[in-house]
Every structure is written in C-alpha cells, then in structure tokens.
Amino acid sequence: MWQGFTGWHALIILVVILLLFGAPKLPALARSLGQSMKILKTEVRSDKTDPDATDETPKADAPDSGKNS
C-alpha cells in the first residue's frame, strides 16, 4: 500500500494541509493533536495496569425482611 509513497507525495500532502488550514493555525492544530495523543497514551497505560478497576462494583447484600425469628 505504501510502496509507491515518496518524498514528493509527502510534500504534496503538506502543501494541501497548508492550503486547507493556513499557516497560522498549524501550531495550534499540532498542539491539540499532541495533547490528544498524550491523553490517549495515559488512558491506555492506566487500562493495562488496572484493567478491572472500573468493572468491579461492590455487591449489596440481600436486605433483611425486618422480622426476627
């Protein structure tokens, strides 16, 4: 799939991105993308270290009927 991808293709993609978003918006776009990747990585790490922390909820005992025998 990527066998024919060359430096010229990357340059053309970069020019198209510049035309779509404009040069002033690119730093903000890159910053938000970096923050999103950082959040994603921390969430993946937390899921690997404690996979069933959110799945387990304490079960309540059956309520007493209130009658003593």
Mean predicted confidence (pLDDT) in 50-54: 60
Q: Is the pLDDT of residue 63 over 70?
A: no
Q: Which residues contact 18 (CB under 8 A, 6 or more apart)?
A: 26
Q: Is the pLDDT of residue 4 over 60?
A: yes
Least confident of 20-24, 32-36, 41-45: 20-24
CB 21 within 8 A of CB 29: yes
Domain spans of the chain, in order of start: 9-47
